[in-house]
Amino acid sequence: MKYKHLLFDIDGTLVDNESAVINTWQQTIQELVGRHFEKDELTFVLGIPGVTTMKKLGIENSEEAFARWSELFQEHRNEISLFDGIEEMINELKNKQYKLGLITSRTRDELSNDDALCKIFHLFDIAICVTDTAHPKPSADPILAYFEKTGATPAETLYVGDAAYDSQCAVNANVDFALATWGNAKKGISCKYQFDMPHDLIELLL
């Protein structure tokens, strides 16, 4: 298999944090604007930067509001876990000498405040966060930033994610995309591969 660099989205791909994220948004919106959103009304927040979500919701002072969201999120940290099979998959890929990267809409603080992610974070060579480029996903900028730091090329890179933003980011960077459906990803998102279980990636590479 030609791939040498394997890039991963975090939320919904490596880490199951949907419950924690949506519960925190419910709490934050109720506190800031006094409006209740049902959980199914907030699924659009998954996989996009928090400040972007604030703007979409029409909440003023979005950066200050997101800071409050970050505080409230700490109350829900125990709801976060790695998806089954992720820790084993990442360890096996590392043992086989693949270069591993993270392409995420999280901030640096969000990376360091995730007890589940910390179990595997040290195995990744580079993490490109939302604040590391001028334009976040679905722009190609995050993957291009990874190329700049590592010397990787599109032809030897595979990006694994669970959302349309991830697919579009890969397309814009001319990189093959694999859709991870072991979480709550919507099937039908444009991709070269579809993985129903983390081990499916290992089987592809071997």
Tokens of 35: 């409006």
Alpha-carbon distance of 98 to 81, in angstroms, equals: 24
What does DSSP assign to residue 195? Answer: E
- pLDDT of residue 150 exceeding 80, the answer is yes
Tokens of 192: 């070269």
- Among 53-67, 84-98, 111-125, 129-143, name the one with the lowest average pLDDT: 53-67
Alpha-carbon distance of 206 to 204, in angstroms, equals: 6
**Dihedral class, residue 111 (left if φ above 0, else alpha if ψ from -120 to 50, else beta):** alpha
**Dihedral sign, Cα of residue 101, residue 161, residue 45, residue 20:** negative
pLDDT value of residue 134: 94
Query: What domains are there in the chain, each with its CATH number?
Result: 5-16+81-205 (3.40.50.1000), 18-79 (1.10.150)
pLDDT value of residue 180: 96
List of E strands, the chain: 5-8, 15-16, 81-82, 99-103, 126-128, 157-161, 176-180, 193-195
| pLDDT higher at 198 or 40 | 198
> Tokens 């722009």 correspond to what residue?
139
pLDDT value of residue 203: 94
- Percent pLDDT > 90 in the chain is 61
Residues 3-38 have pLDDT tens digits of 999 999 999 999 998 888 889 989 988 888 888 889
**Dihedral class, residue 44 (left if φ above 0, else alpha if ψ from -120 to 50, else beta):** alpha
Alpha-carbon distance of 159 to 64, in angstroms, equals: 32
Mean pLDDT (whole number) for 130-140: 94
Mean pLDDT (whole number) for 137-165: 96
**Residue 153 exposure: Cα atoms within 13 Å on the Cβ side:** 3
Alpha-carbon distance of 69 to 31, in angstroms, equals: 10
- pLDDT of residue 1 exceeding 80, the answer is no
- pLDDT of residue 186 exceeding 80, the answer is no
- The confidence band for 176, taking pLDDT boundaries of 50, 70 and 90, is very high
